[in-house]
A and B are shown apart, each in its own frame.
Chain A
Amino acid sequence: MSEVFKVVIIGSGPAGISAASRAAQLGLSHVLLEKADHLSDTIFKYQKGKHVMATPSQLVLRSDQEFDAGKREDILDKWNARTATLGVNVKYNAEVKAIKGTGEAIAGSVQKIVTRARDGSTTINELQRHAPPYAITLTNGETVLAQNVVLAIGTQGNPNLMRCPGGDLPHVTYQLDDPYAVIDQHIIVVGTGDAGIENARGLVEDPAQGNTVTILNRNPRSTNVRESFSTAKEPNAKALIEDDAAGRLTIRYEAETSAVEPGWVTLSTRDGEERIRCDRIIARIGSAPPRAFVEGCGIEFASADRLAFPTLSPQFESTAPGIFVIGALAGYPLIKHCMNQGYDVVEFINGNKDLKPADEPLLEAKFAGLPGQRSVNDWLEFLRANVAILEGMTTLQLREFMLDSQARAYAAGDVIFEKNDPGSSLFAIASGGVNVRLDPKDAAKVVAIPAGSIFGEVGLISGRKRGATVVAAHDTVCIEISRNAALKLQSQVPSARRAIERISTERQILQMFGSGLTPADIAEVVDGSKIMQVRAGEAIIKEGDDDRDIYVIRVGSMIVEKEVGGKPVFLSYLPAGSYVGEMAVIDGGLRTATVRAAIKSEVIRIDGKAFRRVLAAKPALLDSARKQMEVRRATNAFIETKKDTFSGVVDLYSEQAKFLVSQGLGEATDVLLIDERLCVGCDNCEKACADSHDGLSRLDREAGKSFAHLHVPTSCRHCEHPHCMADCPPNAIQRGPDGEVTINDTCIGCGNCQRNCPYGVIRMDKVPPKKPSLLSWLLFGAGPGPGEPSYKWSKKNTKYTGDPVVDEALDRKKAIKCDMCSGIEGGPSCVRACPTGAAIRVSPDEFLTVARLENEGA
């Protein structure tokens, strides 16, 4: 029999190539099996010139191979060259069919393989595992023997295939190397995931290519992009829809291929079958772990779910001893993770049992400032044992989670955050405890939160400023979890999600009527509460109805309206964190006003009867609730009286408030408004904006809508949950200390934020060259003067060097938006530079109040 290799690596993607390189470097006997005739087939099949990203940026790369963000070609060239220098033993065209242990049977180690048939019945095959060495059988009949196997085959090598008749014809392909090389063809792209959209758009990018492209979407057309393109990133889907609208390509909704023949394809659509021309089909209908093969090797999966991953030890060893699974197949689709795992796993196989993961120094630094001198592993264990929401995480998940979070130590009495600070992070208390101050003036009035629990969840959920000051009660260690990490945690660990939801509901209810309630009092109420999504414009309470529920606004905002004289009159604006509907519960009677969502919102619905029982047990509480209600009642009465004397004013106020909500004030935190009774149209605001920010204005004064002399220019609203932040590849969009949403220098100019912003306030532009000083313009007329220079001037005055790298950087467009003049003393220049006082910045909860009406009417 032939040589038994110390390690055989299957698959030469980022994970496999890194593992093989490590083995070569360590001098282990190894072979790298690749089914194609080149390395790294998945990346090889990326579209030509595709920009490959290197996220997460904070993770250190540990590999014998280099990797940095860049073009597909550059990355592949580097890997090929390095693989050759290291002398990695690569065997091409080697597709693995089966892996079997050749040693003795391992007692008690039996793999159960469950196969589910289409009719729902299941058959169970039992497979006795055998000890290494493993015999790896290739499709060409060869056998390779190995002590250890590293399985790094990813999932892309296993695309889902077309199943209609003719699906095996040669012009049906599952990839597209170079869209620009395809000319004058009728092409059908099947599947509207990111890959399909990328291919379809690439094929029509240059009209000179003359391609006729049709992309098939199984879903029906819908105004909601997320519904009709459920598997694609939203900006990609939107760009596709734009191309369709511009006539560059055609999207066929509710369409599937029913038969393929050379030159033609038959589609089954909602309106029946249709035969259209087709020279080529590109099917991008997803890929899945090749489960049958993997299970056949004796590797168990975590669950029966189609998308489940294999069960692994912290060292990536599967249930078959000596077989390791890394990379996408192990559930890590990011290249950097894969490469690090390849390195680590080979080190482990080589006997290096003490190797710390590559992120160890980063985590060490995170924990360095904390008292207790624990090691990273001890800290992780400590956190898992002490913080309730982290319980369900694996060590790997926890490590990754900690990379996005901060560990912080506070001495007793330290302020952790203050009321009205901006912040959307969540805090978890690992040890110690904190006090929440109920009264800003009285430091003695506090509610204690013990170790193991969380705080700051209101900021996380609503995106609003901090509702109260939190002070460390004892010496305390907290984990500050960024909004992104918290969202990821909630999606990864369902128990964490439930815990966060329950705590936030409980706290919001406790807060409703001030102190005097304990969690035990309201346990029943919390259990009966329900979190509900509300569409923009949908009413949760209708005037005149006879229901008894209370609603707490968790996310978004609501407006309260009352029918007066046949017209709905705007009463008030309720930001996230407010509650509504308690009047009917306390006093009975019909609903006195309608409450509807200003934007897409989330509310907690509380059963009124259960709440009534709580109040009945606490008469003092009932009194204070009644007192608070007086305020609302007074507002209602005020509107009623005003209606008679100033009906025109009330109408105007009401219409204006609705107009502002329709312009996005419902989700804004800080917005620029222009009083058109004062605006003389000098555009000094725009000029000031440009002169404060590299010569580019982030505001278009004249554009935007107006109502009753109030103009909402095209300028950032600094939304509570910014749409622009949702899909920023380099995570360049952040919220600053004053609540401003800004884009930092890591912007790659992809334009996602611009497409995502519903208010059109982000522009993509290059930074113009520096202008001569104001004095030289005033005295000698040098340069273009104040404000944004013309395109012509900046083109003429850009100092090109002739070096393509530098010139490209000079011309690179970046996303530009209002940053509220963050870091500039004196605040927003637009407001400072307005000569008449027409420009103001407001926040909706301060601006949309009935106080304006009182003043207007008086």
Chain B
Amino acid sequence: MASVAPPEKTGRKRTGTSRQRQSMHEGFLTHRNMFWAKLSAALALALTLLYIFVPLPGTHFGASWLGYTLGTVGALLILWLTMLGMRKRAITPGRWSLKAWTSAHVYLGLLVTVVGTLHSGFEFAWNVHTLAWALMLLVVGSGIFGIYAYATLPRALSANRYDEEGAITEKQMIEALRSLDRQIHDAAQPLDVQAATLVGQSLEQDPFGGTLWNRVTGAYPDCATHTAIAELRSLRASRQRSKDDLLGRIEAQLARKEALLERLRQHLKLKSWLQAWLYIHVPVTFALIAALSAHIVSVFFYW
């Protein structure tokens, strides 16, 4: 991915000013030349080698010194990773960067799977210990989906907002839709009952209505505007052509509305995908912490 600007050159020192400004930038995945990715990869490799080559006695791997170390490190890492939610919301002064936190969160989060799995010693069963491990995988899995969403969807979101003038905001889309509705309503006044009903259906349908499924797929098979256009078209074909083609004009306006609806729906779809994964990632994290606590307590209890 070519970033907008070359990566930060050596931090230029500015005299007289009290803060440094960075005019070059890079995204969270490539932050600091992928420092956290490299660190995580190195740690994963080192831990795996340790696991393979360090001779350890006993059957319960978790009770060995390496097992304890991995367990402690893993538990602390999970707690630290959870703190991203706090860091994001606590806007305290200081030289922190949420991007750096996100970068570390992503790569250390991936590392947790290695730490947790090694800590298990590959002993799985139907118990709370394996539950904690499974929840951990679920959290990391949803997180990986999140990375995918963050890395790919913003471009589509941005492209969808474009128009000749620069870009249209969500608010402007809704306003434009309202004003189109008004225009269609005014234009449709002379229509006969049959046609007016069709147009009315389009006007009455809430553009934000529909199910969660509609929202995430962006497909609205029951779209009244779409139906109205199709029906009006056949109605118009069956009627005699008049000089003042009112039906034609309304059809054109409805088509504009449909295009705008399409855009708004695409916008909402992308936005929901950017957020949807968090509805798994976050609650499961709390379940994981609960299971983890149970795991720790029970391990000490049965020892």
Q: Do A and B come from one complex?
A: yes
Q: Which A residues fall within an 8 A CB radius of B?
A: 417-422, 466, 659, 670, 675-681, 684, 687-688, 691-692, 702-707, 709-711, 737-739, 774, 778, 785-786, 824-827, 829, 831-838, 840-843, 846-847, 851-852, 854-856
Inter-subunit contact B94/A706 (CB<8 Å) = no
Inter-subunit contact B150/A680 (CB<8 Å) = yes
Inter-subunit contact B17/A702 (CB<8 Å) = no
Q: In the complex, how many angstroms separate the beta carbon of A742 from the nearest chain B beta carbon?
A: 14
- The answer to whether A705 and B17 touch (CB under 8 A), given A832-B98, A852-B4, is no
Inter-subunit contact A837/B167 (CB<8 Å) = no
Residue B127 at the A interface, CB < 8 A?
no
Residue B243 at the A interface, CB < 8 A?
no
Q: Give the residues from 116 to 159 in chain B that come closer than 8 angstroms, CB to CB, to chain A.
A: 149-150, 153-155, 157-158
Residue B292 at the A interface, CB < 8 A?
no
Residue B59 at the A interface, CB < 8 A?
no
Q: Give the residues from 142 to 199 in chain B that come closer than 8 angstroms, CB to CB, to chain A.
A: 149-150, 153-155, 157-158, 161-162, 165-167, 169-171
CA distance A316 to B98 in the complex (A): 65
- The answer to whether A684 and B95 touch (CB under 8 A), given A419-B15, A677-B154, A841-B23, is no
Task: Of the listed stretches B34-42, B84-92, B232-240, B256-264, name the one at the interface; the rest are far from the partner chain.
Answer: B84-92
Q: Give the residues from 1 to 59 in chain B that come closer than 8 angstroms, CB to CB, to chain A.
A: 1-6, 14-23, 25-28, 31
Chain B positions within 8 Å of A684 at CB level = 88, 98
Chain A positions within 8 Å of B208 at CB level = none
Inter-subunit contact A846/B19 (CB<8 Å) = no
Inter-subunit contact B97/A843 (CB<8 Å) = no
CA distance A664 to B86 in the complex (A): 36
Residue B226 at the A interface, CB < 8 A?
no
Q: Which of A704, A709, A737 is within 8 Å of B18, CB to CB? A: A737
CA distance A738 to B18 in the complex (A): 7
CA distance A823 to B273 in the complex (A): 38
Inter-subunit contact B23/A846 (CB<8 Å) = yes
Residue B249 at the A interface, CB < 8 A?
no
Inter-subunit contact A852/B154 (CB<8 Å) = no
- The answer to whether A711 and B31 touch (CB under 8 A), given A676-B154, A846-B23, A851-B6, is no
Residue B102 at the A interface, CB < 8 A?
yes
Encoded as 1 (CB less than 8 Å from any A CB) or 0, chain B from 72 to 112 comes to 00000000000000101111011111110110000000000
Q: In the complex, how many angstroms separate the beta carbon of A657 from the nearest chain B beta carbon?
A: 12
CA distance A852 to B20 in the complex (A): 20
Chain A positions within 8 Å of B19 at CB level = 738, 826-827
Chain B positions within 8 Å of A855 at CB level = 2-3, 5-6
Q: In the complex, how many angstroms separate the beta carbon of B176 from the nearest chain A beta carbon?
A: 15
Residue B274 at the A interface, CB < 8 A?
yes
Q: In the complex, how many angstroms separate the beta carbon of B253 from the nearest chain A beta carbon?
A: 27
Inter-subunit contact A678/B166 (CB<8 Å) = no
Q: Which of A418, A739, A840 is within 8 Å of B22, CB to CB? A: A840
Inter-subunit contact A420/B16 (CB<8 Å) = yes
Chain B positions within 8 Å of A466 at CB level = 16
- The answer to whether A707 and B166 touch (CB under 8 A), given A677-B155, A684-B88, A702-B171, is yes
Residue B271 at the A interface, CB < 8 A?
yes
Most buried by B among A681, A702, A840: A681
If A688-B91, A707-B166, A778-B89 are given as contacts, then 4 extra A-B residue pairs at C-beta distance below 8 Å, sorted by A number, are A670-B21, A827-B19, A833-B98, A855-B3
CA distance A739 to B16 in the complex (A): 11
Q: Which of B6, B15, B31, B158 is within 8 Å of A679, CB to CB? A: B158
- The answer to whether A706 and B22 touch (CB under 8 A), given A418-B15, A825-B95, is no
CA distance A580 to B187 in the complex (A): 58
Inter-subunit contact A840/B17 (CB<8 Å) = no
User: Closest A-chain residue to B155, C-beta based?
Assistant: A677
User: Closest B-chain residue to A675, C-beta based?
Assistant: B4
Inter-subunit contact A774/B89 (CB<8 Å) = yes
Inter-subunit contact B158/A677 (CB<8 Å) = yes
CA distance A687 to B91 in the complex (A): 9
Chain A positions within 8 Å of B93 at CB level = 824-826
Chain A positions within 8 Å of B157 at CB level = 676, 679, 681
Q: In the complex, how many angstroms separate the beta carbon of A287 from the nearest chain B beta carbon?
A: 47
CA distance A842 to B19 in the complex (A): 13
Inter-subunit contact B154/A680 (CB<8 Å) = yes
CA distance A294 to B165 in the complex (A): 61
Most buried by B among A691, A692, A824, A827: A827
Inter-subunit contact B167/A711 (CB<8 Å) = yes
CA distance A856 to B24 in the complex (A): 13
Chain A positions within 8 Å of B165 at CB level = 705
CA distance A710 to B6 in the complex (A): 15
CA distance A670 to B95 in the complex (A): 19
Inter-subunit contact A856/B2 (CB<8 Å) = yes
Q: Which of B15, B21, B158, B167 is within 8 Å of A421, CB to CB? A: B15
Most buried by B among A688, A786, A840: A840
Inter-subunit contact B21/A843 (CB<8 Å) = yes
CA distance A680 to B90 in the complex (A): 19
User: Closest B-chain residue to A707, C-beta based?
Assistant: B166
Chain B positions within 8 Å of A676 at CB level = 154-155, 157-158
CA distance A466 to B16 in the complex (A): 10
- The answer to whether A840 and B25 touch (CB under 8 A), given A678-B154, A705-B166, A833-B98, is yes
CA distance A832 to B158 in the complex (A): 22
Q: In the complex, how many angstroms separate the beta carbon of B88 from the nearest chain A beta carbon?
A: 6
Chain A positions within 8 Å of B149 at CB level = 680
User: Closest B-chain residue to A710, C-beta based?
Assistant: B4
Q: List 27 A-B contacts (CB under 8 A).
A: A419-B16, A420-B14, A421-B17, A675-B3, A676-B155, A676-B157, A677-B4, A679-B158, A684-B88, A684-B98, A702-B170, A737-B16, A738-B18, A824-B93, A826-B96, A827-B95, A831-B22, A836-B27, A836-B99, A837-B27, A840-B23, A842-B21, A843-B21, A843-B23, A847-B5, A852-B5, A855-B2
CA distance A838 to B274 in the complex (A): 15
CA distance A706 to B171 in the complex (A): 16
Inter-subunit contact B150/A837 (CB<8 Å) = no
Inter-subunit contact B166/A706 (CB<8 Å) = yes
Inter-subunit contact A702/B169 (CB<8 Å) = yes
Q: In the complex, how many angstroms separate the beta carbon of B78 from the nearest chain A beta carbon?
A: 18
Inter-subunit contact B99/A835 (CB<8 Å) = yes
CA distance A703 to B172 in the complex (A): 9
User: Closest B-chain residue to A423, C-beta based?
Assistant: B16
Inter-subunit contact A420/B15 (CB<8 Å) = yes
Chain B positions within 8 Å of A709 at CB level = 4, 155, 158
Inter-subunit contact A833/B167 (CB<8 Å) = no
Inter-subunit contact B23/A691 (CB<8 Å) = no
Q: In the complex, how many angstroms separate the beta carbon of A645 from the nearest chain B beta carbon?
A: 15
Inter-subunit contact B158/A706 (CB<8 Å) = yes
Inter-subunit contact B18/A837 (CB<8 Å) = no
Inter-subunit contact B28/A836 (CB<8 Å) = yes
Q: In the complex, how many angstroms separate the beta carbon of A654 from the nearest chain B beta carbon?
A: 15
Inter-subunit contact A832/B150 (CB<8 Å) = no
User: Closest A-chain residue to B150, C-beta based?
Assistant: A680
User: Closest B-chain residue to A837, C-beta based?
Assistant: B99
CA distance A829 to B98 in the complex (A): 10
CA distance A829 to B92 in the complex (A): 9
Chain B positions within 8 Å of A842 at CB level = 21, 23
CA distance A739 to B21 in the complex (A): 12
Q: In the complex, how many angstroms separate the beta carbon of A70 from the nearest chain B beta carbon?
A: 38
CA distance A829 to B154 in the complex (A): 22
Q: In the complex, how many angstroms separate the beta carbon of A574 from the nearest chain B beta carbon?
A: 17
CA distance A257 to B16 in the complex (A): 60
Q: In the complex, how many angstroms separate the beta carbon of A536 from the nearest chain B beta carbon?
A: 18
Q: In the complex, how many angstroms separate the beta carbon of A846 from the nearest chain B beta carbon?
A: 4
User: Closest A-chain residue to B157, C-beta based?
Assistant: A681
Q: In the complex, how many angstroms separate the beta carbon of B256 from the nearest chain A beta carbon?
A: 22
Chain B positions within 8 Å of A854 at CB level = 6
CA distance A62 to B204 in the complex (A): 71
CA distance A466 to B17 in the complex (A): 12
- The answer to whether A837 and B2 touch (CB under 8 A), given A706-B162, A826-B96, is no
- The answer to whether A679 and B162 touch (CB under 8 A), given A825-B94, A832-B97, A835-B102, is no
User: Closest B-chain residue to A846, C-beta based?
Assistant: B23
Q: In the complex, how many angstroms separate the beta carbon of A209 from the nearest chain B beta carbon?
A: 31
